Amino acid sequence: MSAATASRVLVAREVPGELGAHGGVSAAAASRVLVTGGTGAIGGAVVERLCRGGAEVVFTGRNRRRGAALAQRTGAGFVPSDLCEPGAPEAIVEGALGVLGGLDGLVLAAGVLHRAPLSETSDADWDTLLETNVVAPFLLARACLDALADGGGAVVALASGTAEWPEAELGAYSVSKRALLWLTRMLAVEGAVRGVRANAVSPGHTADGMGSSSVLGGGPIDDLARLVPLPPSGRYSTPEDVAGAVAYLLSDAAAGSTGATLAVDGGMLAALRAVRVRQ
Ligand SMILES: NC(=O)c1ccc[n+]([C@@H]2O[C@H](COP(=O)([O-])OP(=O)(O)OC[C@H]3O[C@@H](n4cnc5c(N)ncnc54)[C@H](OP(=O)(O)O)[C@@H]3O)[C@@H](O)[C@H]2O)c1
């Protein structure tokens, strides 16, 4: 690793050696996991969940305050980094391998959302969405593949319901999430012969996180039910619901699943299909 790259990979807190058992994927969850977007709502819930299950976790994010607090709370290692900086994804993987000594799981939770139809999407916003939501996951997954193949590891990507039903006001975001879904399926196909699984989780609207903050625009959370229809389950999914699905797909319990998409949307996709059938 070059000096310039190394200076960006600052593990705020070393992962204690006694956390989690090395050597393959445990029944509870993959034991050594790199999580991107750990400073966000869903990524943070994933880090908490995996650490509670005994995994050793290294996570990334840009917000140093939130990252340091989560590292302190969970014992996970924090790599403050902007995934769109040249060389950053590869440096993150190198840093994580250095701390964890190997890798059993990769969770691609970092992402950005831009609320605009395609006709109102600037070149810069398009680039940011594609670089963050598609290019960085590709670079991270490619850099992890050999390490994951060593122990039969797993990749879980956070896609979105918009990968299934594109939303007009989320034009570039919908395109990027469909591309991420396809990236995941191609990883599943290529990884299968090396014992690596790759699956996607598609959250519906969570009460915390980017979906809500983008529609509320700083307004009160009480406005959410007026702005976003509740799914058939009668409640928005929580980041913890999504983290449970991620932990499952990383675990041996999902050994037979690769190239799959698990919706955590309270039945929203099923309901949309039902409406289409009625029409
Ligand atoms: N929440 C939902 O309703 C929902 C629904 C469907 C899909 N999803 C997907 O689930 C994933 C997590 O969503 P969320 O609600 O947890 O979002 P969030 O709270 O906004 O968190 C996004 C995360 O991505 C990180 N990130 C963004 N750009 C980055 C960059 N250039 N370099 C490094 N890190 C970057 C953020 O880091 P910093 O904050 O530190 O900058 C943060 O950790 C996303 O991929 C999203 O598309 C969410």
Confidence of residue 27 (pLDDT cuts 50, 70, 90): very low
Nearest atom, ligand 1, residue 81 CA = 33
Confidence of residue 21 (pLDDT cuts 50, 70, 90): very low
Q: Is 173 a catalytic residue?
A: yes
Asked if residue 18 has pLDDT above 60, the reply is no
Residue listed under structure tokens 């680039």: 127
CA dihedral 236, 105, 129, 111 (to 10 degrees): 40
Report the separation in Å between the CA atom of 275 and the middle of ligand 1, taken as the mean of its atom positions: 30
Higher-pLDDT residue of 104, 30: 104
Nearest atom, ligand 1, residue 39 CA = 43
Give the rounded percent of residues in the chain with a pLDDT score beyond 90.
Answer: 74
Report the separation in Å between the CA atom of 193 and the middle of ligand 1, taken as the mean of its atom positions: 31
61-100 pLDDT, tens digit each: 999 999 999 999 999 999 999 999 999 999 999 999 999 9
Per DSSP, 253 falls in state G
Indicate which residue of 39, 107, 110, 173 is catalytic. Answer: 173
Residue ranges around ligand 1 (CB below 6 Å): 37, 39-43, 60-63, 82-84, 109-113, 132, 158, 160, 203, 205-206, 209-211
Domain spans, the chain: 3-278
Q: What span, in angstroms and rounded, lies between the C-alpha atoms of 6 and 26?
A: 31
| 3-278 CATH pick, 3.40.1190.10, 1.20.58.2050, 3.40.50.2020, 3.40.50.720 | 3.40.50.720
37-46 pLDDT, tens digit each: 999 999 999 9
What pLDDT, on the 0 to 100 scale, is given for residue 275? 65
Average pLDDT, the chain: 88
What pLDDT, on the 0 to 100 scale, is given for residue 216? 86
- The protein residue whose alpha carbon is closest to atom 9 in ligand 1 is 158
Whether 58 and 81 have beta carbons less than 8 Å apart is answered as no
Q: What is the pTM of this model?
A: 0.91
- The protein residue whose alpha carbon is closest to atom 22 in ligand 1 is 40
194-253 pLDDT, tens digit each: 999 999 999 998 988 998 888 888 888 888 888 888 999 999 999 999 999 999 999 999
| Six-digit token string for 271 | 């309901």
Report the separation in Å between the CA atom of 13 and the middle of ligand 1, taken as the mean of its atom positions: 22
Report the separation in Å between the CA atom of 276 and the middle of ligand 1, taken as the mean of its atom positions: 30
Asked if residue 15 has pLDDT above 80, the reply is no
What pLDDT, on the 0 to 100 scale, is given for residue 277? 60
Whether 41 and 64 have beta carbons less than 8 Å apart is answered as no
